[in-house]
A and B are shown apart, each in its own frame.
Chain A
Amino acid sequence: MSVDVLSRETAPPPSASTLRLQFRRFRKNHLAMASVWLLALIVLGCFFGPYAFPFTGEDADFDFISAPAHFQWPHLFGTDEFGRDLLVRVLEGGQVSLTIGFLGALVAGVIGVLYGAVAGFVGGRADGLMMRAVEILYGFPYVILVILLSLLFGGGNLALFAAIVFTLWLTPAVIVRAQAQSLARREFIEAARAGGMTGRQIVLEHIVPNCMSVVIVYGSLLVPEVILSESFLSFLGIGIKEPQASWGNLISSGTSAMDSDLRLLLLPGVLLALVLLCLNFIADGLRDAFDPNDR
């Protein structure tokens, strides 16, 4: 055994981190990248578009009641039966729907990831209890929960938001818990313990970052899920209330007028469908880029 251990090894030319490689792969996916740009356009349009108009979505213009889409300034897509500009209302409704979507997904995601990471890492009886609790909550009827929460919070957007988060953090928790469980058995976790790290440090510094690729993919699917449930609840009339607009209640009122004027349904419906499509394509691209089985 005459191997010279002191012959110092030099590193190979630098390569990118896993995360950077994954994003590089994502950028090669044209459909996903187009979706990113289109989604960005819609988001910017919703948040800044209404400022281009001399009125808000709640201002009634009595000279134009139920005006058709004639693509002329200022009522490009016409007005509704109260004389409110349809395009501005849809854009403002988009603000509400998109905000609830992204914020809801973020909050539900953070809660779910932390809960799942702790359960999977701690294991044993605590894990059993935590996951049984999740299963019980899974069994809870969603719509009844929303009604209960609206009573509790006195209605309004907060109740809606709380109800959406309350039901949607469960799935990320289950997904992350499975991932955390397999990570907890890896040797680098043991090395971290030998290095004197506390359980909380291990969860935050090792478990959560290593669940990130799953979380990013799932998170991008969570956003459309939140938007859909907001729309669904608003459609049922227990979500966002008139006169405030959201894509859900716009579609709802559009549906009741669809026999005479399809445009009231089409504009919010098409925008919602576009956003959902974009988010699903993005999620798909992220999954292709991040899935470890694909490497």
Chain B
Amino acid sequence: MTLLESRNLGVGYRIPGTGLFSAARMLPIVHDLSLTLDPGRTLGVVGESGCGKSTLGRALLRLIVPSDGQVLWQGEDMATIPDLRRRRAEMQIIFQDPVAALDPRMTLAKIVSRPLATFEPNLSRKDARARAVQALEQVGLSADFADRFPHELSGGQAQRVGIARAIVGRPKLIICDEPVSALDVSIQAQVINLLMELQEKMGLALVFISHNLAVVRHISHDVMVMCLGRVVEQAPRSEFYARPLHPYSQALMDAVPEPDPRREKGRVGTALAGELPSVLNPPPGCVFASRCPKATDLCRQTRPELRTVAPGRQAACHFIEA
């Protein structure tokens, strides 16, 4: 059974109108986005800054109320789940800035055990603490961390505490919103491996939001590429990395620097030219048309629909042959 599904999800933020008394306007961030996620799978969401990845992650958990479409949790519409607050134990999130995600005034035991007060109200305080210590140990932090404060932690340790808080209620899904982009490379590997290990042990599904293609490749089963709030390509991991189909995906891949400096120097740069279109005033055609090397008048006028271009692969481009 599908764990998480979104149907034509649209998310926008209200922004004040231009005049003193003019009505608020909607700033649309995510458009018409449909996805499905099965238990135990990892969906990697990639895209440049500002493309709506993080907004999508929060809307999937209904931390932001979507303006359009639905999110289904195990087949139930999230908007109508009674007492969703307590069901949140099943769906958790970890954040980009691991230190900002922890209340500086609370001890780690308190931070990690606090969700249990909501999710399992009958648990005694002592048992909740024991569960928190257990969760800390699961993420590789010894029990003597329990009475420490967040300012005593390194970034990697803080992110583990964030993960411990997410798993303490035994979730089925964790949204990982750029969980390693604020960490050192060596620590990134630890956190990624920890997530994969927990996924295996607990049967977790992950939505892994990142702009780091190498990290997404390591952890994901499927990859979804977003551009300006729309999905432009969706594919199983190995097919995607073997041959990205959408010109935007190809541009993202090309933008990854070569680790060998001599080869990097000789590499032909294919940096994107052109302007990112305004979110408030989106162009009628393809979201990538203004920057796409292959764009024609067709692209600028008609938006390509997301369509199946190969078994299991979807892309939104006029020029991909099935």
Contact = CB atoms under 8 A, between A and B. Distances in A.
A260 B17 CA distance: 68
A191 B119 contact: no
Contacts of B162: 191
A18 B103 contact: no
Contact of B89 (A18, A187, A196): A196
B101 A5 contact: no
B149 interface: yes
Chain B, interface residues (CB within 8 Å), range? 35 or more
B103 A187 contact: no
Interface in B181-232: 186, 189-190, 192-194, 197, 218
B234 to A, nearest CB: 26
A195 B61 CA distance: 11
B58 interface: yes
B88 A195 contact: yes
Contact of B88 (A3, A8, A196, A205): A196
A195 B95 CA distance: 13
Given A5-B197, A9-B142, A18-B151, A187 B186 contact: no
Contacts, number: 100
Nearest to A186: B100
Contact of A11 (B102, B145, B169): B145
Contacts of B137: 8
Contacts of B147: 14
9 contacts: A1-B193, A3-B186, A8-B142, A11-B152, A17-B107, A187-B100, A192-B103, A195-B88, A212-B105
A208 B112 CA distance: 20
Interface string A15-30: 1011100000000000
Given A1-B218, A196-B86, A191 B149 contact: no
B89 A6 contact: no
Contact of A14 (B91, B93, B148, B157): B148
A241 interface: no
A10 interface: yes
Given A6-B140, A9-B157, A194 B61 contact: yes
B118 A18 contact: no
B97 interface: yes
A186 B142 CA distance: 27
Interface of B: 58, 61, 63, 85-86, 88-89, 91-93, 95-97, 100-105, 107, 114-115, 118-119, 137, 140-142, 144-145, 147-149, 151-152, 157, 162, 165, 169, 186, 189-190, 192-194, 197, 218
B268 to A, nearest CB: 30
A15 B152 CA distance: 8
Contact of A10 (B88, B95, B144): B144
Contacts of A9: 140-142, 145, 157
A209 B7 CA distance: 40
A195 B142 contact: no
B13 to A, nearest CB: 11
A287 B192 CA distance: 42
Interface string A215-230: 0000000000000000
Contacts of B107: 17
Given A3-B186, A195-B169, 5 more contacts: A11-B148, A17-B107, A186-B100, A190-B93, A194-B63
B197 A187 contact: no
B107 to A, nearest CB: 8
A197 B190 contact: no
A12 interface: yes
Contacts of B145: 9, 11
